[in-house]
Amino acid sequence: MGQTADLLSLNNELFKTYLFYSVVLMVKLILMAPLTGRQRYKNMAFANPEDADTNNVKVKTHDDVERVRRAHLNDLENIPAFIITSFAYILTNPEIEFATLLFKAFTAARFVHTFVYALYVVPQPARALSFFVGLLITLYMAFVSIYHFM
């Protein structure tokens, strides 16, 4: 047994770091829902008749709501993929400082992505850059893992 249990142990600083950033990213992800809700109320733009009725408006869409929803979907498309991939990556026994740097950079990139997408819109390439930093980190860890486990 040995090695695997050592890597998936709380005695392994990298595994603790992984758990920490995974949970931080999950909090970030699920808080997109209240952020969408805030835009729905601000713009009185609801998707469900029962919600619109309560507020005496008709169902409608609004650009600011859809923007937050796209940022939310982008998180869904990228964050779980990072968490699953980095779980495998930890088991390749990577150099701890470097792996920690990747986890931190991915997390920062996703916060920046949401900020420039949904909170304070700045011109490209801010959003594209933060997206690609996250994507490339996940792809890098994926290729290391695939090569290691094939």
How many Å apart are CA 12 and CA 29, to the nearest integer? 26
Nearer to a copy of itself among residue 76 and residue 101 (C-beta): 76
Q: Rule CB under 8 A: say whether 61 interacts with a copy of itself.
A: no
CB of 3 to a copy of itself, least distance (A): 7
How many Å apart are CA 32 and CA 136, to the nearest integer? 23
| Secondary structure string (H, E, C) spanning 63-95 | HHHHHHHHHHHHHHHHHHHHHHHHHHHHCCCCC
CB of 123 to a copy of itself, least distance (A): 6
Tokens 């923007």 — which residue? 67
How many Å apart are CA 7 and CA 1, to the nearest integer? 11
CB of 136 to a copy of itself, least distance (A): 10
Q: What count of other Cβ atoms lies within 10 Å of the Cβ of residue 123?
A: 7
Q: Rule CB under 8 A: say whether 112 interacts with a copy of itself.
A: no
40 alpha-carbon distance from chain centroid: 22
Terminal Cα-to-Cα distance of the chain (whole angstroms) = 20
Q: Rule CB under 8 A: say whether 101 interacts with a copy of itself.
A: no
Q: Rule CB under 8 A: say whether 145 interacts with a copy of itself.
A: yes
Out of 35, 43, 62, 83, the only residue in the binding site for a copy of itself (CB under 8 A) is: 83
Binding residues for a copy of itself (CB under 8 A) = 1, 3-6, 8-11, 15-17, 19-20, 22-24, 26-27, 29-30, 32-33, 47-51, 54, 63, 66-67, 70, 72, 76-78, 80-81, 83-85, 87-88, 91, 121, 123-124, 127, 131, 135, 138-139, 142-143, 145-146, 149-150
